[in-house]
A and B are shown apart, each in its own frame.
Chain A
Amino acid sequence: GEKVEQHESTLSVREGDSAVINCTYTDTASSYFPWYKQEAGKSLHFVIDIRSNVDRKQSQRLIVLLDKKAKRFSLHITATQPEDSAIYFCAASSDYNQGKLIFGQGTKLSIKP
Chain B
Amino acid sequence: NAGVIQTPRHKVTGKGQEATLWCEPISGHSAVFWYRQTIVQGLEFLTYFRNQAPIDDSGMPKERFSAQMPNQSHSTLKIQSTQPQDSAVYLCASSLDFNQDTQYFGPGTRLLVL
Contacts and interface: CB of A to CB of B under 8 A. Distances in A.
A43 B103 contact: no
Contact of B107 (A43, A89, A99): A43
Nearest to A32: B100
Interface string B54-98: 011011000000000000000000000000000000010101001
Interface in A24-75: 31-32, 34, 36, 42-46, 49, 51
Q: Could you say which interface size class chain A belongs to? A: 20 to 34
Contacts of A36: 105
Interface of A: 31-32, 34, 36, 42-46, 49, 51, 89, 91, 93, 95, 97-106
5 contacts: A44-B43, A93-B100, A99-B99, A101-B43, A103-B44
Interface of B: 31, 33, 35, 42-45, 48, 50, 55-56, 58-59, 91, 93, 95, 98-108
